[in-house]
């Protein structure tokens, strides 16, 4: 039996190794531009203001709700704008082709009831406009709702100066509001066409309606994340079930997706490019003449984890927000990575000067994009990345992504596992010390 001294050396060594691992793997990470491992390149450790190569062809705006950040990264990787006013920043869009003006949704949670007449937990949903040259922000629309597990508005689609479509996460609905009069002029509720015993728990996080987009033909496309599908609504005749992409629990098509973008026939569609989040991949589906959807493109690599945005740019590149992979990257038509910047916990990104989302981008089929499904860790990656990725790939994606989402944005899966091992080691040490000591507990009550 090893002596107490030997056991103490073992415990001390174990805890020093755990601390050393956490320090080494997180060195260089800052709150918004941290470190990322990329295919075929060494680990980048970027501080705000450091540049990445090759340069992008325009500034990129990125939103995050992990730490509540809106930032703009210049063409050479320099952070030129950074705002942390609110708890969460979600969709951000350039206004038309004027990249000086942006519009975004931002949320602020109140747990003291100060924004609610009923005194309960509440959330302020805002649509704001930013002039990135002057830094001036203007609240266009503000709405207070009760706070649920997932109640933040994730997306708006600007129709014109006065009208906005809102993806109402709280009400599981989509509506168009006149932001000058505050009047809602049109609304579609998911309850009209979907049973409440599908999706997530009703009413807490039933649909998780996370994206809305008005198509050129006037139809509205919405993403019903918890139903694993993208739905099409005709404002006059209603839900078009023969257009639905995906189906509940058909995870080989879509699995709790984010940010679908419609590519119309004039740019090689109809097609929908989408971040298939729980499958750790980006996919595109092409609409056939027979009225079916067929997969026309797929892209993933060993780093991609819970992506939540994919914008097809006019040059055929795809701008990707890799939320838990910790980066925003650009995938080129031949499937390689053309540009990359390390961003922890991003929600979505826009390349300014290329328009809103995938507007102007060609379909994968018409641009003959090369797919990629290889998730082999590159030789150049360090041993920590090899071990982490191997463990992650052995577990279901939903488990790994769920654990990653449980902690703060910078916390990686391996940090959590190693941290838990460290905590267990410490608990064993304390238990052993108590057993070795002469301490004993006795009841404060004595019975004569
Ligand atoms: Ca956007
Ligand atoms: Ca939008
Ligand atoms: Ca979209
Ligand atoms: Ca985008």
The model's pLDDT over 222-236, given as tens digits with 9 standing for 90+, comes to 999 999 999 999 999
241 shares its domain with 377: yes
What total of structural domains would you count in the chain?
A: 2
The confidence score (pLDDT) of residue 155 equals 98
78 shares its domain with 199: yes
Ligand nearest to the CA of 60: 4
In a domain, 274, yes or no: yes
296 shares its domain with 370: yes
The confidence score (pLDDT) of residue 409 equals 58
The confidence score (pLDDT) of residue 54 equals 66
Q: How confident is the model at residue 167 (pLDDT cuts 50, 70, 90)?
A: very high
φ, ψ at 202 (rounded to 5°):
-90, 135
356 CA → ligand 3 middle, Å: 9
197 CA → ligand 2 middle, Å: 28
Structural domain that includes position 411:
4-26+384-421
pLDDT exceeds cutoff 80 at 1: no
Distance CA 164, CA 151 (A): 18
In a domain, 283, yes or no: yes
Ligand nearest to the CA of 261: 3
SS3 of 400, please? helix
130 CA → ligand 3 middle, Å: 20
pLDDT exceeds cutoff 70 at 179: yes
Ligand nearest to the CA of 258: 3
In a domain, 367, yes or no: yes
Better-predicted residue by pLDDT, 181 or 48:
181
334 shares its domain with 367: yes
212 shares its domain with 237: yes
Q: What kind and span of H or E run contains 229?
A: strand 229-234
218 shares its domain with 333: yes
Of 359, 381, 403, which residue is a domain's last?
A: 381
340 shares its domain with 357: yes
The confidence score (pLDDT) of residue 411 equals 64
Of 381, 404, 431, which residue is a domain's last?
A: 381
In a domain, 267, yes or no: yes
Of 381, 403, 438, which residue is a domain's last?
A: 381
Q: What kind and span of H or E run contains 45?
A: strand 44-45
Residues constituting the chain: 448
In a domain, 443, yes or no: no
Q: What is the mean pLDDT of residues 204-230?
A: 97
In a domain, 431, yes or no: no
In a domain, 439, yes or no: no
User: Considering the chain, what is the average pLDDT of its residues?
Assistant: 88
29 CA → ligand 1 middle, Å: 26
344 CA → ligand 2 middle, Å: 21
Distance CA 372, CA 331 (A): 10
48 shares its domain with 16: no
Determine contact, residues 88/65, Cβ cutoff 8 Å.
Answer: yes
pLDDT exceeds cutoff 50 at 140: yes
Q: How confident is the model at residue 382 (pLDDT cuts 50, 70, 90)?
A: confident
In a domain, 349, yes or no: yes
Q: What is the mean pLDDT of residues 185-206?
A: 95
User: Which CATH number fits the domain that encloses residue 309?
Assistant: 2.120.10.30
3-state helix, strand, coil in the chain (%, to 5): 20, 35, 45
306 shares its domain with 415: no
pTM of the full structure = 0.85
439 CA → ligand 2 middle, Å: 63
pLDDT exceeds cutoff 90 at 102: yes
155 shares its domain with 109: yes
283 shares its domain with 376: yes
Q: What confidence tens digit (pLDDT) does each residue in 259-284 have? A: 999 999 999 999 999 999 999 999 99
97 CA → ligand 4 middle, Å: 14
142 shares its domain with 197: yes
């Amino acid at each position: 039996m090893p002596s107490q001294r030997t056991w103490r050396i073992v415990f001390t060594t174990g805890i020093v190794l755990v601390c050393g691992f956490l320090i080494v793997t997180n060195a260089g990470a800052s709150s918004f531009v941290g470190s990322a491992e990329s295919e075929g390149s060494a680990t980048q450790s970027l501080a705000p203001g450091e540049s990445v190569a090759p340069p992008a062809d325009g500034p990129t705006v990125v939103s995050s709700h992990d730490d509540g950040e809106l930032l703009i990264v210049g063409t050479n990787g320099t952070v030129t704008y950074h705002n942390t006013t609110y708890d969460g920043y979600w969709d951000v869009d350039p206004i038309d082709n004027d990249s000086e003006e942006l519009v975004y949704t931002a949320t602020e949670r109140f747990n003291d009831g100060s924004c609610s007449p009923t005194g309960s937990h509440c959330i302020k949903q805002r649509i704001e406009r930013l002039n990135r040259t002057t830094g001036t922000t203007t609240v266009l629309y503000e709405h207070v709702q009760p706070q649920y597990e997932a109640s933040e508005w994730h997306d708006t689609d600007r129709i014109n100066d006065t009208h906005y479509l809102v993806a109402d996460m709280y009400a599981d609905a989509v509506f168009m509001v006149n932001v000058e009069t505050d009047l809602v002029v049109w609304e579609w509720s998911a309850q009209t066409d979907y049973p409440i015993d599908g999706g997530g728990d009703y009413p807490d996080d039933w649909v998780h309606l996370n994206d809305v987009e008005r198509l050129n033909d006037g139809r509205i496309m919405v993403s019903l994340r918890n139903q694993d599908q993208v739905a099409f609504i005709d404002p006059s005749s209603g839900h078009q079930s023969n257009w639905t992409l995906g189906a509940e629990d058909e995870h080989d098509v879509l699995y709790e997706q984010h940010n679908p973008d419609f590519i119309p026939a004039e740019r090689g569609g109809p097609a929908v490019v989408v971040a298939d989040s729980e499958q750790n991949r980006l996919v595109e589906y092409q609409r056939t003449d027979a009225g079916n959807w067929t997969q026309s493109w797929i892209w993933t690599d060993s780093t991609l984890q819970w992506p939540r945005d994919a914008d097809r740019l006019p040059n055929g590149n795809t701008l990707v927000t890799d939320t838990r992979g910790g980066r925003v990257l650009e995938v080129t038509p031949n499937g390689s990575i053309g540009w990359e910047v390390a961003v922890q916990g991003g929600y979505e990104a826009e390349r300014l000067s290329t328009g809103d989302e995938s507007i102007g981008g060609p379909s994968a089929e018409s641009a003959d994009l090369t797919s990629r499904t290889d998730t082999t860790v590159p030789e150049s990656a360090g041993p920590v990345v090899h071990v982490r990725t191997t463990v992650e790939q052995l577990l279901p994606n939903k488990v790994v992504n769920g654990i990653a989402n449980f902690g703060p944005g910078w916390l990686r899966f391996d940090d959590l596992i190693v941290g838990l091992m460290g905590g267990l080691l410490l608990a064993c040490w304390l238990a052993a010390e108590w057993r070795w000591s002469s301490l004993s507990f006795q009841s404060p009550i004595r019975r004569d």
